[in-house]
A and B are shown apart, each in its own frame.
Chain A
């Protein structure tokens, strides 16, 4: 496109300048910059004029002024005399609290539902599908209002609070539970627990290193695992026996359950291990199965339960019992079927589970160390943990920690809503891994669990993590809907109340947006880092 030597200046016509891509580029960009600047200048001058007319000041000086209002739920000390800056921090902390709890719970529920959607079992699959389609396709705000309404109306008034074991109190004012005092013994216990985690971690690394050398994990660990297995069996059996007693007899006898658990644990260490398993399954069936079935039977619509009563009466009649007792007989029969199924299952799965013992670090050992070390320390040191339980004083419960209904409803709603999206992400991620991968792993002899752990999950993870992170961000942003049900998160206290009182719209909205921008930026930084790390190497 060079201009010929000696060509007249007319050769450089106006149109050729306009067609020159560089000139065009500069022109477009300058035009954009100018229009943006003009637009902002116009908006700004309007704002200044309006503010001057309304006699309003600008600037961030108001942050140190006394806010003069109260916040019902704050993680840091807050009073009417606290400043707007404190309001800001209370809001941010509350938002973060909701986000943190919400993310953990939504992940658990979401993964469960996502895997359930892939189940071979039509009922499970169908249930998960209904859940996902219902929650994804209705507005979150509507759901939040609904849950909030329920939490206000479905729970009892303060006077008739449900008092659950462990000093947990549920009523219309929220969910209260004992708060540990953060004193010396408590911190020491936390330290021991952390130490136990570190020990398990180090031990695991050592065992896996040793496995690289010899092919199996060290025999010391294997032996230890035999003992910890027994301890775990004892603990489970003990709890189950207690539970079963409460469910059936209405009261618990610790001596009886200790004896039962001890016998079961002892048997589990012998070669009659499967008997112990059967006993545990029987405890589950007796403790959970029978009461569940009785509840279900009594909840059947009238005609059905009449039918059952008729059958029950027939059975009862032949044995000289009442219809009610007959119904219990039916429940027992069902429980027996359940137990038989469980037994059959135990018989079939025990032998194959044994083999993999020496290749993986035993779970029971980790559990026993992490739970057991702090417990042991607690009893041996004789330290007393101080708890501050909620107690009824006058018209309200005082002491302990109380999660107000706004908080519970907000977290519950966010979790149920976000988990539906997470479930879809998980399902899509697992389905995206080619079925040939499972087949190849199977043809190499890898067992079901190993196939998942070593082949499917690492591949699905790359697909799942990026959209999962953006769901976490969505949950955090959606926590701002707490404003609609009166939970004092950032938008509610700062953009709502603080803005109303101070009138500093520009500053307050700017500061709020800054918080969300930071969350968003952190998320995308993480995602870029993750994507770069896991990117598959391709030609």
Chain B
């Protein structure tokens, strides 16, 4: 896997501003168990608005579980998670509120196969936000143009390639105007040339100042876009640092081992 991301233009870091005071997500001594299995252990994490965080780590280390806790697709048993000022409890109303503000992109796209691309994009704005249909479609087309596939609007997901489907999935989340975007290995189900087209969209999103949490092993992307890399193992955060320092000078033994394996 190459370190440098082969993207047409280098992302302009100066455009990506990070707020110093405004907290987007705060996780305090959070623990989670699956039955008796202690899957997330003592997680502390503070994400500022506009920050772009890449989460890496071996398979099974709890990366997916961590970001799925943030929009409560998984329930945590101990500690606090506060998203956009709302503390996540079992209160359904708050969960819905958080989910409206947090977009999520899955490894396997999870587009709705029975709806056209345009319907996929307008479903939530119409039924959750009460946006007029024409307006929702206009927004949808805007985002489809941004992910460069406006011509596919009336096709069904099954007719698109993997890369196109993932870009639609990103656009679908954006249509809800989220403040935070979560990505769970968005490129690992894709062929190499499709990875590029999806990463380009994500870079652009970063330039626009979106707060992003990405689970990914695309180290080139991490280097160029992230302002923090978090390394996880056995359900805990082992090391975190700025990308430069993280890649050039890893501290923890586990990190070194992981990087040596992944960079060759």
The reply to whether the CB of B131 lies closer than 8 angstroms to some CB of chain A is yes
Q: Is the CB of A437 within 8 A of B110?
A: yes
Q: Is the CB of B158 within 8 A of A538?
A: yes
Within 8 A of A (CB), among B111-161: 111-114, 123-124, 126-135, 155-156, 158-160
Q: Is the CB of B131 within 8 A of A215?
A: yes
Contact segment of B6-14, B23-31, B45-53, B97-105: B97-105
**Complex alpha-carbon distance, A163 and B41, angstroms:** 66
A213 interface neighbour in B108, B113, B127, B132, Cβ under 8 Å: B132
Given A351-B93, A455-B112 in contact, is the A444-B133 Cβ separation under 8 Å?
Answer: no
Q: B134: shortest Cβ distance to chain A, in Å?
A: 7
Total interface residues in chain B, CB < 8 Å: 39
What band does the interface of chain A fall in when counting residues whose beta carbon is under 8 Å from B? Answer: 20 to 34
Q: A104: shortest Cβ distance to chain B, in Å?
A: 27
Q: Is the CB of B128 within 8 A of A445?
A: yes
Q: A538: shortest Cβ distance to chain B, in Å?
A: 4
Q: B100: shortest Cβ distance to chain A, in Å?
A: 4
Q: Is the CB of B172 within 8 A of A444?
A: yes
Q: Which of A215, A359, A436 is packed against the most chain B CB atoms within 10 Å?
A: A215
Q: Is the CB of B155 within 8 A of A537?
A: yes
The reply to whether the CB of B96 lies closer than 8 angstroms to some CB of chain A is yes
**Complex alpha-carbon distance, A450 and B135, angstroms:** 21
The reply to whether the CB of B262 lies closer than 8 angstroms to some CB of chain A is no
Q: Is the CB of B159 within 8 A of A539?
A: yes
Within 8 A of A (CB), among B176-221: 176
Return chain B residues, CB-CB under 8 Å to A537.
155-156, 158-159
Return chain A residues, CB-CB under 8 Å to B263.
none
B73 interface neighbour in A211, A213, A442, A446, Cβ under 8 Å: A442
A440 interface neighbour in B112, B129, B155, Cβ under 8 Å: B112
**Complex alpha-carbon distance, A455 and B106, angstroms:** 17
Return chain B residues, CB-CB under 8 Å to A3.
none
Q: Is the CB of B114 within 8 A of A462?
A: yes
**Complex alpha-carbon distance, A459 and B73, angstroms:** 21
Residue in B closest to A458 when the chains form the complex, CB atoms: B114
Q: Is the CB of A538 within 8 A of B159?
A: yes
Q: Is the CB of A443 within 8 A of B133?
A: no
The reply to whether the CB of A183 lies closer than 8 angstroms to some CB of chain B is no
Q: B213: shortest Cβ distance to chain A, in Å?
A: 13
Q: Is the CB of A443 within 8 A of B158?
A: no
Return chain A residues, CB-CB under 8 Å to B100.
445
Return chain A residues, CB-CB under 8 Å to B114.
458-459, 462, 536
Residue in B closest to A354 when the chains form the complex, CB atoms: B93
Q: B176: shortest Cβ distance to chain A, in Å?
A: 6
The reply to whether the CB of B71 lies closer than 8 angstroms to some CB of chain A is yes
Return chain A residues, CB-CB under 8 Å to B133.
211-213, 215
Q: Is the CB of A450 within 8 A of B99?
A: no
Q: Is the CB of A443 within 8 A of B96?
A: no
Residue in A closest to B92 when the chains form the complex, CB atoms: A352
Return chain A residues, CB-CB under 8 Å to B130.
215-216, 358-359
Q: B164: shortest Cβ distance to chain A, in Å?
A: 11
Q: Is the CB of B176 within 8 A of A444?
A: yes
Given A351-B93, A352-B92 in contact, is the A446-B106 Cβ separation under 8 Å?
Answer: no
Q: A429: shortest Cβ distance to chain B, in Å?
A: 13
The reply to whether the CB of B65 lies closer than 8 angstroms to some CB of chain A is no
Q: A430: shortest Cβ distance to chain B, in Å?
A: 14
The reply to whether the CB of B166 lies closer than 8 angstroms to some CB of chain A is no
Return chain B residues, CB-CB under 8 Å to A56.
none
Return chain B residues, CB-CB under 8 Å to A273.
none
The reply to whether the CB of A345 lies closer than 8 angstroms to some CB of chain B is no
Residue in A closest to B111 when the chains form the complex, CB atoms: A440
**Complex alpha-carbon distance, A352 and B159, angstroms:** 37
Q: A461: shortest Cβ distance to chain B, in Å?
A: 9
Return chain A residues, CB-CB under 8 Å to B110.
434, 436-437, 439-440
Q: B43: shortest Cβ distance to chain A, in Å?
A: 20
Return chain B residues, CB-CB under 8 Å to A270.
none
Return chain A residues, CB-CB under 8 Å to B93.
351-352
A459 interface neighbour in B102, B104, B113, Cβ under 8 Å: B113
The reply to whether the CB of A214 lies closer than 8 angstroms to some CB of chain B is yes
Q: Is the CB of A443 within 8 A of B99?
A: yes
Within 8 A of B (CB), among A439-468: 439-448, 450, 454-455, 458-459, 462
Residue in A closest to B116 when the chains form the complex, CB atoms: A537
Q: A215: shortest Cβ distance to chain B, in Å?
A: 4
- 13 A-B interface contacts by CB (under 8 A): A211-B133, A212-B132, A212-B133, A215-B133, A352-B93, A352-B96, A444-B128, A446-B128, A450-B128, A459-B114, A537-B159, A538-B158, A539-B159
Task: Pick the 8 closest A-B CB pairs, nearest first.
Answer: A440-B110, A212-B133, A444-B124, A445-B100, A443-B104, A538-B158, A215-B132, A436-B110
Residues of B within 8 A of A (CB): 71, 73, 91-93, 96, 99-100, 102-104, 106, 108, 110-114, 123-124, 126-135, 155-156, 158-160, 169, 172-173, 176
Extra contacts, 6 of them, besides A352-B96, A440-B111 (Cβ < 8 A), are A211-B133, A439-B110, A442-B99, A444-B103, A446-B123, A539-B158
